[in-house]
Amino acid sequence: MPKRSEEMLMDLWMSLLLVWITCVPCVSMTPIAGQSKSTQSGGSTAVASGLGEGQRLLSRAKRGWVWNQMFVLEEFSGPDPILVGRLHTDLDVRNKSIKYVLAGEGAGTIFAIEPLTGNIHAMKRLDREEKAEYTLTAQVINAETDEPLEPPSEFIIKVQDINDNPPQFIKGPYRASVPEMSAVGTTVTQVTATDADDPVYGNSAKLVYSILEGQPYFSVDPNSATIKIALHGMDREMREEYLVVIQAKDMGGHMGGLSGTTTVTITLTDINDNPPKFSKSLYEFVIPEDLPTGKMGGKVKANDRDIGENAKSTYNILEGDEQGMFEITTDTQTQEGILRLKRPLDYESKKAYTLKVEATNIRSEPISGGPFKDTATVKIVVEDSDEPPVFSKPIYFLEVNENAPIDTVIGAVTARDPDATGSLVRYVIDRHTDLERQFNINVNDGKITLAKPLDRETDMWHNITVTATESRNHSQISRAIVAIRVMDINDNAPEFATEYEAFLCENGKPGQPSSVYLLVSLFKTGDSNCQCS
């Protein structure tokens, strides 16, 4: 124990001892509860007489102890045992052979009694927080025979508290949170300190709280230890976390009291108090006209200083997309607006688009009066792509007579380069579809001519494929089907299906039915004789 504390304890002990000495004459005759009452009211000492049958009869059994409750100051130590108090009985008169004995809690170890004087001493340094009181029993006995002269009497020695325990925050350090922009006086959390000293004796356990670190942002109630907002407009986006140090001091906060501290880490939680903001007011993208539908053409981003759900936004197109060429969706991971094609682009029909897009917060706070928004302009330039030639028709139907001569022009196919440069187109027949090489095509104008004679009776239809290729880029190829119908002409004489045998009657006359008819008739009838009529 520090020297200053020992001096304070010594001063307190001497003050108590002075009070005890002053009060002895007033209480020395106070009877202990449960003692025998005398029929006389005088204060003379009782005289023992009339012994018989080995027993000593007392004509008066009144006794008076100094106290039935004694006090000893905790944590007091010195070179000699500490005098706690003195026991005294009416039997204690001059020339009387008596002695005092002590029993009970700590008797003989912690507490000792002087047999002749009744003085009780504390032999050890006591700690009230370990044990606050001791129950002991005192008795007066004959010093020579050890026979009890009166019944044992119980009394209590209380360990008197001194302020030797500082306040402690058992549950610390603490963590708490409060929404940003909370009003002044908003409760954040409450802390609690405990003091092991006696809460009913003096102010040793009376605590007062104060804030050592954390001003001017927070305050603490000195009695309840409730921490509150002390500054208006605390913004999470400016500072998110604060370390607050709270002190608890005993002795009602007065000088000389002991203290303990704890830390409270306070986090400001986010509210939606910031709008989304596009990083640029104008975005420009170049998109090739052959970009497939559904593919991304560009990304925009509206940043939000809030976090979590408060920072999420949706995107939509407000103006500039009357034909429904584009759509914009939100990437849930990056919170970017993804611009995609809904319909194919055509550089030759429209070379640029100007869109107005909007980002809108999903959540809104009542204080904001509605969801936050921001807009930006998106300019899209369509880049010309080298497209393959385009046929005027996907399928061509041509006709040719079967007796048409070689090099007859059957018809023509046409294809054009849709690009602005307008490259020349060359035409070729896919010979996998014309294995007999019956047709030719002019590579420059697409005219199809006959290369071999046709026979409708052999093949009525010919289906060939014609390819159109850019002259400057042979990789750009298109195909079209040409269906050629062979038209019939009267180029075949009638023919009997079988050979016939005719029989003539020698007596036949002109104008009679032909022999063929007769033969058929005979054959039909199964008649083998020819009867001429």
Q: Which residue has the higher pLDDT, 226 or 20?
A: 226
Q: Is residue 447 part of a domain?
A: yes
Compare 425 and 47 and report the one with higher pLDDT. 425
155-159, 196-200, 353-357 — which one is most confidently predicted on average?
A: 353-357
Last residue of a domain, one of 215, 239, 269: 269
Q: Can you give the CATH number for the domain in which 441 is found? A: 2.60.40.60
Strands (E), 253-325: 259-269, 277-278, 282-288, 296-303, 313-319
The answer to whether the CB of 64 falls within 8 A of the CB of 30 is yes
- Return the pLDDT at 290: 87
**What's this model's pTM, rounded to 2 decimal places?**
0.56
Residue-averaged pLDDT of the chain: 80
DSSP lists the bridge partners of residue 463 as 483
* Side-chain half-sphere CA neighbours of 152 within 13 A: 10
Give the amino acid at 223.
N
Tell me, what amino acid is at 265?
T
- The pLDDT tens digits for 430-447 are 999 999 999 999 999 999
Strand order from edge to edge, sheet including 82-86: 82-86, 119-122, 111-113
Q: 419 and 349 in one domain?
A: no
User: Residue 122 has what pLDDT?
Assistant: 87
Residue 41 has pLDDT above 80, yes or no: no
- What local confidence, expressed as pLDDT, does residue 502 receive? 65
222 and 293 share a domain?
no
pLDDT digits (tens, 9 = 90+) for 375-387: 999 999 998 887 8
Residue of higher predicted confidence among 191 and 1: 191
- Pick the last residue of a domain from 109, 144, 160: 160
Specify the pLDDT at position 59.
36
At 518 the three-state DSSP class reads: helix
Structural domain includes residue 327: yes
Rounded Cα distance, 368 and 273, in Å? 7
Angle 494-498-504 from CA coordinates, rounded to 5°: 100
Per the structure, the complete domain to which residue 402 belongs is given by: 390-487
SS (H, E, C) 187-210: EEEECCCECCCCCCCCCCCCCEEE
Structural domains counted in the chain: 4
Q: What is the pLDDT of residue 202?
A: 74
Q: Which of 44-53, 226-235, 342-351, 517-526 has the lowest mean pLDDT?
A: 44-53
Nearest alpha-carbon partner for 285 in 345, 229, 218: 345
For residue 366, the model assigns a pLDDT of 72
Q: Looking at the structure, tell me whether residues 281 and 236 fall in a common domain.
A: no
| Residue 484 pLDDT > 60 | yes
Among residues of the chain, what percentage have pLDDT more than 70? 78
d(Cα 241, Cα 268) in Å, to the nearest integer?
6
pLDDT at 520: 46
> In this structure, are 328 and 285 located in the same domain?
yes
Residue 92: its pLDDT value, please?
A: 65
178 versus 513: the higher-pLDDT residue is: 178
* Residue 63 scores a pLDDT above 80: no
How many Å apart are CA 395 and CA 411, to the nearest integer?
Answer: 13
pLDDT digits (tens, 9 = 90+) for 307-364: 999 999 999 999 999 999 999 999 999 999 999 999 999 888 899 999 999 999 998 8
Is 89 part of any domain? yes
The reply to whether 89 and 155 lie within a common domain is: yes
Same domain, 89 and 184: no
Distance CA 298, CA 166 (A): 66
User: Going by C-beta distance under 8 Å and a sequence separation of 6 or more, which residues neighbour residue 251?
Assistant: 163, 203, 204, 206, 257, 258
pLDDT in tens, 69-91: 777 776 777 777 888 888 877 77
pLDDT, residue 441, reads: 95
Establish if 26 belongs to a structural domain.
no
Domain boundary among 269, 293, 325: 269
Please report whether residue 198 resides in a domain: yes
When pLDDT is cut at 50, 70 and 90, the band that residue 491 belongs to is low
In angstroms, rounded to a whole number, what is the distance separating the alpha carbons of residues 365 and 371? 8
Query: What Å distances lie between residue 329 and 274, 313, 339, 371, CA to CA?
Result: 22, 10, 7, 18
Question: What is the tens place of the pLDDT at every residue in 406-415?
Answer: 999 999 999 9
* Residue 66 scores a pLDDT above 70: no
Query: CB-hemisphere CA count at 13 Å for 261?
Result: 10
Q: Classify residue 458: in a domain, yes or no.
A: yes
- Quick one: 121 and 183 in the same domain? no
Domain membership flag for residue 27: no
CA-based torsion, 329, 331, 335, 340: positive or negative: negative
Kindly state whether residues 368 and 285 are assigned to the same domain: yes
Residues 499-507: contacts with CB within 8 Å, 24+ apart? 503/530, 505/530, 505/532, 506/532, 507/532
Whether residues 308 and 253 fall in one domain = no
Judge contact between 277 and 373, C-beta under 8 A. Answer: no
Six-digit token pair at 490?
């009267």
Mean pLDDT over residues 500-519, rounded?
A: 62
User: Where is 450: in which H helix or E strand?
Assistant: strand 447-450
Burial label, 369 (beta-carbon count in 10 A; 0-12, 13-18, 19+): exposed
Same domain, yes or no: 379 and 397: no
Residues 195 and 108 in one domain: no
The residue that leads in pLDDT, 157 or 502, is: 157
Whether 183 and 126 share a structural domain:
no
The three-point CA angle 83-86-92 to 5° equals: 145
Residue 40 resides in a domain: no
Model confidence over 266-286: pLDDT tens digits? 999 999 999 999 999 999 999
